[in-house]
Amino acid sequence: MSTRRPLYGWLVSEAVSITGTRVSMIALPWFVLTTTGSPGKTGLVALAEMLPMVLLKVLGGPIIDRVGPRRVSITCDLLSVLVVGSIPLMYQAGHLSFPGLLLLVAMAGALRGPGDGAKHALVPALVERAGVPMERATGLGSTVERGASMLGAIVAGGLISVIGPANALLVDAGSFLVSAAVLAWATVGMGPAPREQGAAEPPYRRQLAEGWRFLRGDRVLLGIAVMVALTNFLDIAWTTVLVPVWAKEYGGGAAAIGLLFAVFGGASVAGALCAAAWGERMPRYRTYLLAFLVTGLPRFAVMAFDVSIWWVLAISVAGGFASGFLNPILGAVMYERIPVRLVGRVTSLTTAMCFALMPLGGLLGGVLVSGWGLTAAMLATGAAYFVVTMAPAFDPRWREMDDRPVPARTGRVPEDAH
């Protein structure tokens, strides 16, 4: 088997999976809203998916380390085909009640939690087999994520208008099947790491606690998880409330929203590609600070006032490009600091923390705009973003981001090895 086939196969599998997920993220709320006419029920469905996803991300870590990330990822994708595909099929048959929809959506979220965690836990083994720098793999992964997210939004809009939101969910179900097939083919022979002969499997609860103790004891990893949780919280407020209100108040409308996100997303893809190409040679700590300086406060500040759309788009290009460097850097730091035997547990815990506050982001945006108005809400959110992302400048421990491991941990082949 080609040493890089598993890595490239994983990237293709991720691209398919993320594209399908983005279709579902748009089609499912629209399906609920158009069939029930209730914004409250639409929000309840979103909550029904998010809560089990976050919970199972936490609880699934020890299972990933026991069974192996490849097996968990493929199994969750195959089960998701059945669960997600059941929604449109039951609706078309006239057997889909709202409680039944909530149950299916909760099951889909419960499968997505460990499934996504398992895909992330595969990265160190893929990097080692491919013999590439960690920044190359995380940069390519970030490029795929951002590019597939853009593609998924475009595909969702076309599918919903042509075949309807229910049938669009069938495309999401099909994407899970393709993702599982590609990953199974590309990573054949990559089983879980063998245990020492005669070593007993620790109890599940002890394994779960061990992952948490390691995360809590690593100040940099824990700091990254907390920082990303807070920035995700603020980003959701920006995307779901602040940007739509900005477009309405300053006359851009829905077209301006689509243009803004397309420009920001396209620039972030370019940034992630640059990170994949040159990230290995860049100072991580300074790049982190500079990237967040560019992608954080400026976009909030420029949108707080009635300025030309061209100024907003210019800031979006710069901010999107800078944001493309962040995930490759943070991902490389996290993977390199986690021992192989704990990677499933610790990555699941960190991603769960990163997702935990996201359901509350829209609520924050609504409260701020309703109470203070758009300008104050934008500036307050931007100031909070600045404080959260620049706090590492005053903590010397974060400089450990620049500590790169020995070649064996990054998957690089030493220059004198042939």
Q: How confident is the model at residue 251 (pLDDT cuts 50, 70, 90)?
A: low
More confident: 348 or 392: 392
Q: How confident is the model at residue 359 (pLDDT cuts 50, 70, 90)?
A: confident
Nearest Cα to 266, choosing from 154, 116, 146?
A: 146
What pLDDT score was predicted for residue 195? 55
Handedness of CA 156, 160, 162, 164 (dihedral sign): positive
What pLDDT score was predicted for residue 83? 95
Whether 196 shows a pLDDT value over 60: the answer reads no
Handedness of CA 75, 77, 78, 81 (dihedral sign): positive
What pLDDT score was predicted for residue 362? 74
Q: What is the spatial distance between Cα 201 and Cα 195, in angstroms, rounded to a whole number?
A: 9
Contact in structure between 343 and 117 (CB atoms under 8 Å): no
Give the DSSP letter string of 309-361: HHHHHHHHHHHHHHHTTHHHHHHHHHHHHS-GGGHHHHHHHHHHHHHHTGGGH
Long-range residue pairs from 53-56, CB within 8 A, at least 24 positions apart, any chain: 53/109, 53/110, 53/112, 53/113, 53/355, 54/113, 54/352, 54/355, 54/356, 55/110, 55/113, 55/352, 56/109, 56/110, 56/111, 56/113, 56/114
Whether 417 shows a pLDDT value over 90: the answer reads no
Alpha helix segments (H runs only) across 197-242: 204-217, 219-237
Structure tokens at 357: 């506050």
Whether 249 shows a pLDDT value over 50: the answer reads yes
Among 16-20, 203-207, 265-269, 387-391, the range of highest mean pLDDT? 387-391
Long-range residue pairs from 262-266, CB within 8 A, at least 24 positions apart, any chain: 262/150, 263/313, 263/316, 263/317, 263/320, 264/316, 264/317, 264/319, 264/320, 264/323, 265/146, 265/149, 265/150, 265/320, 266/150, 266/320
**pLDDT tens column, 264-314:** 888 998 998 898 888 788 899 999 999 999 999 999 999 998 888 899 999
Whether 250 shows a pLDDT value over 60: the answer reads yes
Residue-range domain boundaries for the chain: 1-134+163-189, 205-404
CATH domain 1-134+163-189 topology: Growth Hormone; Chain: A; (1.20.1250)
**pLDDT tens column, 39-68:** 667 777 877 888 888 888 888 888 888 888
Residue bearing tokens 């600091």 = 337
Which CATH number is correct for 205-404, 1.20.1250.20, 3.90.190.20, 3.30.565.10, 1.10.287.3510? 1.20.1250.20
Whether 199 shows a pLDDT value over 70: the answer reads no
DSSP label at residue 241: I
Q: What is the spatial distance between Cα 57 and Cα 75, in angstroms, rounded to a whole number?
A: 15
What pLDDT score was predicted for residue 363? 76
Amino acid at 133: P
Segment 379-402 mean pLDDT:
93
**pLDDT tens column, 307-337:** 888 999 999 999 999 999 998 889 889 888 8
Long-range residue pairs from 152-157, CB within 8 A, at least 24 positions apart, any chain: 152/18, 152/19, 152/20, 152/21, 152/22, 152/23, 152/25, 152/26, 153/22, 153/26, 153/261, 155/19, 155/22, 155/23, 156/22, 156/23, 156/25, 156/26, 156/27, 157/26
What pLDDT score was predicted for residue 151? 82
What pLDDT score was predicted for residue 193? 58
What pLDDT score was predicted for residue 197? 44
Residue bearing tokens 């089609």 = 27
Nearest Cα to 145, choosing from 330, 329, 274, 13?
A: 13
Whether 406 shows a pLDDT value over 60: the answer reads no
Segment 122-144 mean pLDDT:
85
The CA-atom distances, in angstroms, between 34 and each of 31, 96, 332, 371 are: 5, 15, 42, 30
Whether this model's pTM surpasses 0.85: no
Whether 386 shows a pLDDT value over 90: the answer reads yes
Contact in structure between 159 and 23 (CB atoms under 8 Å): yes
Amino acid at 174: G
Q: How confident is the model at residue 413 (pLDDT cuts 50, 70, 90)?
A: very low
Nearest Cα to 163, choosing from 149, 174, 148, 177?
A: 174
